C-alpha cells in the first residue's frame, strides 16, 4: 500500500514528542472502532451503542505514521472492541512495515475482550502482531457472564486466551478491573489462573470513566489490599521495575512461577511517568484519559493539511498534555467520553 511505503521517508531530524512537563511520549493507543460486542456492567449502561464514527483503515494508518515519525515506538490498537473492525489484519500488516526512528519494528499490541480471538489469534500473529492483552473480570463463568451480559462469553474468551498463547502472542496479559462487592471475590482465583494458564494477570483499579455513575472511592479495590489477599493464599515476591515508565507493580510467586501485576492509577497515580497519548476512533487526539478537550487531527487531515503541518499540530498538542489526573479530588470533572468511547 502506497501510504505505508512512505514510512521510509520519515523525517528523523524532526523533533520528538515531549510535553511541557518533560515527559517523552512514545506510546500511542488508537481506538479503531467505537463498537463493542460486550456490555460490561461497570463500563456501559447497556442502552447506548456506538457514538462516534470510525475512520477508513488507510486514514488510521496515515495518522499513526505521523506519530511514529515523531518517536512513537509502541502502538496499541483498542476500541470499543478492535476485533470487530473490518480491515484489522490489513492495518496490522501495514503497521508491521513501519520503522521507529531508530529503525526498529514497532511494538504492536491489541487490547481485546477476547470473544473473537480463537479464530483470529493465528492470523493476527501472521499479520505481524506481537502481543495481545485480554480483558477478563472473573474466572468463573457465571460471574463473568453477569458482567459481560453475553451468554457463553466465558468459554469463548478462555478458548481465545489459549489460542493466543498457542499462536505466540506473548507475553499474554489478562487485565482485570476490580469493583468492591462485585467481583473482588475473584482475586485469589485470578492468582491461580495466572499460574495455571501461564498468563500475566494485571489488576487495574476502577476509574471514573464509566457511562453510568458507579464510581466512588469506596468501590476501588486498592493495590495494598490485592497484594495482601493474594499473599495470604499464595505468597508473593516483588519483581523489580523494568523501566521508569512501568505502570504495573509486578510480583511473582514464592516458587518463581507466574506473574501478577497491579496498575493503581487511583491509589498510586503514575502520571509523572506517563508516556501515552491517545487517538479516538474518529481521529481526535486525547492527551490524557481524563482530558476535558480533544484535538481534531483527522479534521485537519480531511481539510488537506500536509504531513508536515499535521506533525507540527501533533507536537504542539502533546506539549499541552495535562500534568496529572484529579480523580478523587474536590471539583473532579468526568471526561467528556467514557472508556469504551475513548479506547482503553
Residues of this chain that interact with ligand SAM (CB under 6 A) are: 36, 43, 78-79, 81, 111-113, 135, 175, 177, 204, 206-207, 209-210, 339-340, 344
Considering the complex, what minimum distance in angstroms separates the CB of residue 15 from ligand SAM? 31
Which 3-state string (H, E, C) describes the chain?
A: CHHHHHHHHCCCCCCCCECCCCCECCEEEEECCCCCCCCCCCCCCCCCCCCCCCCCHHHHHHHHHHHHHCCCCEEEEECCCHHHCCCHHHHHHHHCCCECCCCCECEEEEEECCCCHHHHHHHHHHHCCCEEEEECCCCCHHHHHHHHCCCCHHHHHHHHHHHHHHHCCCCCEEEEEEECCCCHHHHHHHHHHHHHCCCEEEEEECCCCCCCCCCCHHHECCHHHHHHHHHHHCCEEECCCCCCCCCEEEEEECCCCCEEEEECCCCCCCHHHCCEEEECCCCEEECCCCCCCCEEHHHHHHCCCCHHHHHHHHHHHHHCCCCCCCCCCCCCCCCCCCHHHHCC
Residue 149 C-beta: closest distance to ligand SAM, Å: 13
CB 254 to ligand SAM: min, Å: 28
Nearer to ligand SAM, 191 or 207 (CB): 207
- Select 175 or 280, whichever has its Cβ closest to ligand SAM: 175
Q: Which is nearer to ligand SAM, 80 or 283 (CB)?
A: 80
Output the residue with the shortest Cβ distance to ligand SAM.
344
Indicate the residue among 234 and 339 with the shorter CB distance to ligand SAM: 339
Least distance from C-beta 84 to ligand SAM, angstroms? 9
Per this entry, what is the length of the chain?
A: 344
- Unique residue bearing C-alpha cell 481485546: 112
Minimal distance, residue 244 CB to ligand SAM, in Å: 23
Q: End-to-end distance of the chain based on CA atoms, in angstroms? A: 28
Cell numbers found for residue 92: 496490522
- Shortest Å distance, C-beta 79 to ligand SAM: 5
Of residues 118 and 210, the one with the C-beta less far from ligand SAM: 210
Shortest Å distance, C-beta 343 to ligand SAM: 7
94 or 210: CB nearest ligand SAM: 210
Nearer to ligand SAM, 70 or 264 (CB): 264
Q: Tell the smallest beta-carbon distance from residue 316 to ligand SAM (Å).
A: 28
Q: What CA–CA distance (Å, rounded) separates 322 from 19?
A: 9
Residue 175 or 287: the one with the smaller Cβ distance to ligand SAM is: 175
Amino acid at each position: 500500500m502506497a501510504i505505508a511505503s512512505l514510512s521510509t521517508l520519515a523525517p528523523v531530524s524532526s523533533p520528538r514528542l515531549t510535553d511541557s512537563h518533560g515527559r517523552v511520549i512514545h506510546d500511542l493507543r488508537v481506538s479503531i472502532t467505537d463498537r463493542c460486542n460486550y456490555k460490561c456492567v461497570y463500563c456501559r449502561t447497556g442502552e447506548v451503542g456506538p457514538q462516534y464514527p470510525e475512520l477508513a483503515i488507510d486514514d488510521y494508518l496515515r495518522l499513526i505514521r505521523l506519530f511514529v515519525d515523531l518517536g512513537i515506538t509502541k502502538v496499541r490498537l483498542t476500541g470499543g472492541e478492535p476485533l470487530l473492525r473490518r480491515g484489522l489484519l490489513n492495518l496490522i500488516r501495514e503497521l508491521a512495515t513501519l520503522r521507529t526512528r531508530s529503525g526498529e519494528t514497532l511494538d504492536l499490541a491489541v487490547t481485546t475482550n477476547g470473544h473473537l480471538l480463537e479464530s483470529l489469534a493465528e492470523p493476527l500473529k501472521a499479520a505481524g502482531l506481537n502481543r495481545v492483552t485480554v480483558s477478563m473480570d472473573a474466572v468463573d463463568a457465571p460471574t463473568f457472564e453477569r458482567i459481560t451480559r453475553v451468554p457463553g462469553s466465558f468459554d469463548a474468551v478462555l478458548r481465545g486466551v489459549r489460542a493466543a498463547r498457542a499462536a505466540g502472542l506473548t507475553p499474554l496479559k489478562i487485565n482485570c478491573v476490580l469493583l468492591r462487592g462485585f467481583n473482588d471475590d475473584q482475586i485469589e482465583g485470578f492468582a491461580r489462573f495466572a499460574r495455571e494458564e501461564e498468563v500475566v494477570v494485571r489488576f487495574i483499579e476502577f476509574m471514573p470513566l464509566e457511562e453510568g455513575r458507579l464510581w466512588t472511592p469506596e468501590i476501588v479495590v486498592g493495590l495494598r489490599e490485592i497484594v495482601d489477599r493474594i499473599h495470604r493464599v499464595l505468597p508473593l515476591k516483588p519483581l523489580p521495575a523494568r523501566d521508569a515508565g512501568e505502570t504495573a507493580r509486578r510480583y511473582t510467586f514464592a516458587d518463581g512461577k507466574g506473574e501478577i501485576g497491579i496498575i493503581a492509577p487511583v491509589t498510586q497515580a503514575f502520571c509523572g511517568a506517563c508516556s501515552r497519548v491517545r487517538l479516538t476512533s474518529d481521529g481526535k487526539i486525547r492527551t490524557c484519559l481524563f482530558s476535558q478537550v480533544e484535538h481534531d487531527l483527522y479534521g485537519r487531515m480531511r481539510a488537506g493539511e500536509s504531513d508536515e503541518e499535521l506533525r507540527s499540530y501533533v507536537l504542539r498538542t502533546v506539549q499541552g498534555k495535562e500534568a496529572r489526573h484529579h480523580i478523587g479530588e474536590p471539583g473532579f470533572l468526568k471526561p467528556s467520553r467514557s472508556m469504551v468511547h475513548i479506547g482503553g
